[in-house]
């Protein structure tokens, strides 16, 4: 039974969207994990198609969290700042490798006085998006604290992390290069995937959310396969708990295949 809105045609993913920077990617495979592709082809994705995955967006006030979500979900941009009070959320439906998949994007308040309310919504996140402004170095420094707070409510070994530099349109190329160097270091420390976006121009916004959807979907299917034992008679599939740790593992591991 599907009580949710149908998937928009521009939310259909047939291939794995690629990372922005190889140095700070959750994994560097060109395609979805072979076990995931195989499970989707054979309709062995269990409950993944019925689940809603929670994604939280955190970061300093006014770094552009709401604008980022609005650019992707509504294709709008508001140049006037309206602080988020507590939390807000948007639902996005995707179809990944033929399987319906939903993300619930939780937009949280960056203002200190609302942080207490917002943090009560952190629990159960499958992906954590930590936003900083590419033209505000302090907001990058604060990302470590935002991550620590978000991880207090979540399982650090299973939540996928994304570090997103916003307002790319406000930096000159030279300023951007300097900021990116620092941001890549922070992303590597956190084991987060790094992105740089502009909600004003739309640069990388769609690519970024597609990557979030794809990697969250992939992690969900791998977890589902692990849970179900992923075996039918004759299968030679072996699921490692290591698969949950996507950070740069592809280069170290031989790709497995279920055939």
Ligand X SMILES: Nc1nc2c(ncn2[C@@H]2O[C@H](COP(=O)(O)OP(=O)(O)OP(=O)(O)O)[C@@H](O)[C@H]2O)c(=O)[nH]1
Does 79 interact with ligand X (rule: CB under 6 A)? yes
Does 86 interact with ligand X (rule: CB under 6 A)? no
Contact of residue 181 among Mg ion, ligand X, none (CB under 5-8 Å per partner type): none
Does 198 interact with Mg ion (rule: CB under 5 A)? no
Does 198 interact with ligand X (rule: CB under 6 A)? yes
Handedness of CA 68, 70, 14, 219 (dihedral sign): positive
C-alpha distances in angstroms, 4 versus 7, 51, 103, 151, 194? 9, 11, 12, 30, 31
Does 84 interact with Mg ion (rule: CB under 5 A)? yes
Does 84 interact with ligand X (rule: CB under 6 A)? yes
Contact of residue 96 among ligand X, Mg ion, none (CB under 5-8 Å per partner type): none
Does 110 interact with ligand X (rule: CB under 6 A)? yes
**Shortest reach from residue 114's CB to ligand X, in Å:** 8
Alpha-carbon distance of 232 to 24, in angstroms, equals: 36
Angle at 18 between CA 12 and CA 24, to 5 degrees: 140
Alpha-carbon distance of 215 to 39, in angstroms, equals: 15
Contact of residue 167 among ligand X, Mg ion, none (CB under 5-8 Å per partner type): ligand X
Structure-block tokens of residue 150:
């978000």
Does 200 interact with ligand X (rule: CB under 6 A)? yes
> Cα torsion for 6, 130, 48, 96, to the nearest 10°?
50
Q: Which residues bind ligand X (CB under 6 A)?
A: 61-67, 78-84, 109-111, 166-167, 169-170, 198-200
């Amino acid at each position: 039974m599907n009580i949710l809105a149908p998937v928009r045609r521009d939310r259909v993913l047939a291939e794995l969207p690629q990372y922005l920077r190889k140095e700070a990617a959750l994994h560097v495979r060109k395609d979805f994990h072979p076990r995931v592709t195989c499970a989707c082809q054979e309709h062995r994705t269990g409950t993944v198609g019925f689940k809603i995955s929670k994604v939280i967006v955190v970061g300093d006030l006014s770094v552009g969290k709401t604008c980022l979500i609005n650019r992707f979900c509504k294709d709008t941009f508001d140049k006037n700042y309206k602080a988020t009070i507590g939390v807000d959320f948007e639902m996005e439906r995707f179809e990944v490798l033929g399987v319906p998949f939903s993300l619930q994007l939780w937009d949280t308040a960056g203002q200190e006085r609302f942080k207490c309310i917002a943090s009560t919504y952190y629990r159960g996140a499958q992906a954590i998006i930590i936003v900083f402004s590419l033209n505000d170095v302090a907001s990058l420094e604060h990302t470590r604290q935002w991550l620590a707070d978000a991880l207090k409510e979540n399982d650090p070994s299973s939540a996928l992390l994304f570090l997103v530099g916003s307002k790319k349109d406000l930096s000159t190329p030279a300023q951007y290069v300097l900021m990116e160097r620092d941001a890549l270091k922070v992303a590597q420390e956190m084991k987060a995937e790094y992105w740089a976006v502009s909600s004003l121009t739309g640069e990388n916004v769609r690519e970024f959310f597609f990557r979030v959807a794809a990697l969250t979907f992939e992690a969900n299917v791998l977890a589902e396969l692990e849970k179900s034992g992923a075996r039918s008679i004759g299968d030679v599939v072996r699921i490692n708990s290591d698969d949950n740790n996507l950070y740069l593992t592809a280069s170290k591991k031989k790709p497995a295949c279920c055939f």
